[in-house]
Amino acid sequence: MRPHRAYSPGLTGVLSFRESRHLLEVLRAQVGDRFTVFDAEREALAEVVELGPPVRYRILEEWRPEREVGVEVALYPALLKGDKLSEVVRSATELGATRIQPLITRHSVPKEMGEGKLRRLQAVAVEAAKQSGRLRVPEVLPPMPLKALPAVEQGLVAHLGARSLVREVLDPLKPLALAVGPEGGFAEEEVELLQERGFTPVSLGRRILRAETAAIALLALCTAGEGR
Q: Are residues 33 and 124 in the same domain?
A: no
Q: Are residues 183 and 122 in the same domain?
A: yes
Q: Which pLDDT belongs to residue 66?
A: 85
Q: Which residues pair with 61 in a beta bridge?
A: 45
Question: How far apart (Å, rounded) are the C-alpha atoms in residues 172 and 222?
Answer: 8
Query: Do 82 and 42 belong to one domain?
Result: no
Q: Both 83 and 162 in a single domain?
A: yes
- The string of pLDDT tens digits covering residues 149-180 is 999 999 999 998 899 999 999 999 999 999 99
A 10 A CB-CB count for 122 gives 16
Q: Which CATH number belongs to the domain containing residue 28 in this structure?
A: 2.40.240.20
Last residue of a domain, one of 41, 63, 85: 63
160 and 204 in a single domain? The answer is: yes
Residues 131 and 217 in one domain: yes
Q: Is residue 125 a part of any domain in this protein?
A: yes
Domain membership flag for residue 83: yes
Q: What is the pLDDT of residue 40?
A: 87
Same-domain check for residues 96 and 191: yes
Say whether both 174 and 146 belong to one domain: yes
Same domain, 97 and 119: yes
In a domain, 15, yes or no: yes
Domain containing residue 88: 73-226
So what's the pLDDT on residue 160? Answer: 85
Instruction: Report in angstroms the alpha-carbon separations of 41 from 82, 135, 136.
Output: 34, 6, 7
What is the distance between the alpha carbons of residues 86 and 19, in angstroms, rounded to a whole number?
A: 20
Domain co-membership, 13 together with 90: no
Residue 68 located in a structural domain: no
Residues 107 and 193 in one domain: yes
What is the tens place of the pLDDT at every residue in 84-101? 999 999 999 999 999 999
Comparing CA positions, the residue from 108, 89, 196 lying closest to residue 150 is 196
Q: Are 77 and 209 in contact (CB under 8 A)?
A: no
The Cα-based distances of 153 to 71, 164, 188, 222 in angstroms read 12, 18, 22, 15
Residues 6+ apart with CB under 8 A from 178: 73, 74, 75, 76, 155, 156, 157, 158, 215, 218, 219, 222
Query: Quick one: pLDDT at residue 2?
Result: 59
Task: Assign residue 127 the CATH number of its domain.
Answer: 3.40.1280.10
Same domain (yes/no): 51, 84: no
Question: What's the number of domains the chain is made of?
Answer: 2
